Amino acid sequence: MNPESVKTVADILRSANRICVLTGAGVSAESGIPTFRASDGLWENHAIEDVASPQGWQRNPQLVWDFYHARRAKAGSVLPNPGHAVLAQLEQRFGDRFTLVTQNVDGLHQRAGNRNVIELHGSLYQTRCTECGLVRDRGLEALDPMPHCACGGVERPNIVWFGEMLPPANWSRATKAANSCDVFLIVGTSAVVYPAASLIQTAKMQKRPARIIEFNLTETDATPYVDAGLYGPSGESLPALIHELQWD
């Protein structure tokens, strides 16, 4: 990590009033949860469209559930890492002037202590009835191979799959947060999945543009919008930043 960059980012954070964070799979990588775009179109050996699209669900719901049972078990076997911990510390410091928008479904931000979390792509913890629409919080307990609702309907994972709309209330809260922050942090996302990635432009296009800071292993599609970046594992760069700020 370049110490000068850490200082630059720390200065931006010191003058921040309202922070919005967008996280992606990279923030959980050091907890042991693999990212999506690591292996050409395959996700844990499945084609993404087979396990994360409405068409895949129509074709073979049991295959989809088997995949999500495994993801739930994995999420239950890992722990938040120091990057998650720093994002929870920032929320402690900024209170309701801090909003965390995540594309992750693993629940690790909440387990690290964040409360103001907007889950744009749903949650592994929840099921949704395909008949009556009831959403149930199931924690990470083992579920029936093909879970059913009390109404008799088949339940599906409450995850936003490719080609599906984001939950409108969450999206509206997320755009509001991006549109009212003065510092926007992008952590561990390739910034290629829309509309989530458009929050970066929203933050930048305010009358008084937010300062944008990126934390990633590499440059991404978001990098052209970025005012400063810390390139390295976020489980190291975020703790280095909080240490520089003496907020730890």
Q: Is 86 in the site for ligand OAD (CB under 6 A)?
A: no
Q: By the 8 A CB rule, do 227 and 214 touch?
A: no
Q: Is 36 in the site for ligand OAD (CB under 6 A)?
A: yes
- Within residues 156-185, the interface with ligand OAD by CB under 6 A covers 160, 162
Q: Is 65 in the site for ligand OAD (CB under 6 A)?
A: no
Convert 173-211 to b/e letters by CB count within 10 Å (16 or more is b): bbbebbebbbbbbbbbbbbebeebbebbebbbeeeeebb
User: Of 8, 12, 35, 136, which one interacts with ligand OAD (CB under 6 A)?
Assistant: 35
Nearest approach, Cβ of residue 231 and ligand OAD (Å): 9
Q: Is 56 in the site for ligand OAD (CB under 6 A)?
A: no
State the Rg of the chain over Cα: 18
- Closer to ligand OAD by Cβ: residue 122 or 182: 122
- 43, 116, 186, 205 from 119: Cα distances, Å: 20, 10, 15, 23
Instruction: Single out the segment in contact with ligand OAD by CB under 6 A; choices: 13-21, 56-64, 132-140, 227-235.
Output: 227-235
Q: How many residues does the chain have?
A: 248
- Closer to ligand OAD by Cβ: residue 106 or 155: 106
Q: Is 121 in the site for ligand OAD (CB under 6 A)?
A: yes
Active-site residue list? 121
Q: Is 189 in the site for ligand OAD (CB under 6 A)?
A: yes
Cis geometry, peptide bond prior to residue 195 (ω within 30 degrees of 0): yes
Q: Which residues bind ligand OAD (CB under 6 A)?
A: 24-26, 29-30, 35-37, 52, 103, 121, 160, 162, 188-190, 193, 215-218, 220, 233-235
